[in-house]
Structure 1
Amino acid sequence: MSKRKRRVFTPQFKAEAVRLCEVGDRTVGQVAKDLDLTETALRAWVKRAGEDADEGPKESLTTAERDELTELRRKVKRLEMEREILKKAAAFVCHESAR
């Protein structure tokens, strides 16, 4: 079985695929096959749509919260790198001034 090329789907396409699953006349597997998707991906979209609609567990994050968390983690990583650079620069300046 050859590996499928990774595809990117619009939020509108995902929402429509989820809606087709929720209508109830076809199973998730049938909808996935009709749209040439993997069943796993479609199930993840359905689960995420439920979480976004506050139908999921209390501890699960919405898509907006997940995006914000990703952005905040990116900023923290950048700030930590900047702090390390400043610490090294300060140590270098102190070492040079002591000479």
Structure 2
Amino acid sequence: MGKHFDHEYKEYVAKLIVEEGRVAKELAFELEIPYSTIRKWASAYKEKANRQVNKENYMTPGELEKLKKQHEKELQQLREENEILKKAMHI
């Protein structure tokens, strides 16, 4: 009898392959899930993504890192602007 995985886990694994560009065979080996199963999850995810206009709210680690870097840049810029304004007020 095979293992059963919840929908969120299947979608997360498929997202790693489709959006992150991970190799399915390597991921199958790492997660100890048959390659054919992961391939089915990825193809189902692709079909769902093509049909669906709105994206799900799940983030892959790569998406999270991009978002963090973007927010760090914005935060740094705001801090610099704040310092300039503080100095201008003392003049």
The two structures have a TM-score, normalised by structure 1, of: 0.46
Distance in 1 between residues matched to 2:45 and 2:16, nearest whole Å: 13
The structure whose Rg is larger is 1
Number of matched residues? Answer: 50
Match of 1:9 in 2: 5
Q: 1:38 aligns with which of 11, 34, 53?
A: 34
Q: Write the letter of the residue equivalent to 1:33.
A: F
Q: State the identity %.
A: 22
Q: Write the letter of the residue equivalent to 1:46.
A: A
RMSD: 1.4
The two structures have a TM-score, normalised by structure 2, of: 0.50
- Is the contact between residue 15 and residue 45 of structure 2 (CA under 8 Å) also seen in structure 1? no
Higher RCO by CA contacts (8 Å cutoff, separation 6 or greater): 2
Deviation at 1:15, TM superposition (A): 1.0
Deviation at 1:54, TM superposition (A): 2.0
Quick check: 1:21 aligned with 2:17?
Answer: yes
Deviation at 1:12, TM superposition (A): 0.9
Match of 1:60 in 2: none
Q: Write the letter of the residue equivalent to 1:39.
A: Y
Q: Write the letter of the residue equivalent to 1:30.
A: E
Which aligned runs of 4 or more in structure 1 are off by greater than 2 angstroms? Answer: none
Gaps of 5+ in 2: 52-91
Match of 2:47 in 1: 51
